[in-house]
Amino acid sequence: MEIEDELQEPEGTKSGYTKMVEWFKGIDIMAIFSLDNMLKNSAYLAFLFFLLLLYIGNTHELENTTRRIDAVKKEMKEYRWRYMSAKADLMFNCKMTEVAHAVVPLGLKTLDAPPQKITIAKGEY
């Protein structure tokens, strides 16, 4: 008995938890979910259902968009890799020594002498 007396709170100093429990005890659940209340609030319930459908649809669209973005990022990385590889190959093949090796089968050779200037007199052409 002494412990129960110590646990009871004075009337004016009830904790928030105690007040909340008392508030929930005063609610009549059957009255809230009665047919009359459901019919009165049918427009509100339909609106909540519509919002729920929008929320679900929006979530699905967000997930699909995220998947598409990830796929495009992966594809862009692959294209960047191809671009960098092609650029490196082009830079290598544009070197003067590589060009000289490539045109040997065509019978072309590199010049040993410096280029000469060709002059044409005014009446010759």
What band does 12 get if pLDDT is binned at 50, 70 and 90?
low
- Say how many CA atoms lie within 13 Å of 59 toward its Cβ: 6
pLDDT tens, 70-98?
999 999 999 999 999 999 999 999 998 89
pTM, two decimals, is: 0.50
Say how far apart CA 94 and CA 98 lie, in whole Å.
7
Question: 49 is written with which tokens?
Answer: 């259902």
Q: What one-character DSSP code corresponds to residue 115?
A: P
List the alpha helices (DSSP H) in 8-123: 16-25, 29-32, 35-40, 42-93, 96-103
Whole-number Cα distances in Å, 13 to 17, 21, 25, 50: 12, 15, 19, 44
14-18, 75-79, 120-124: segment of lowest average pLDDT: 14-18
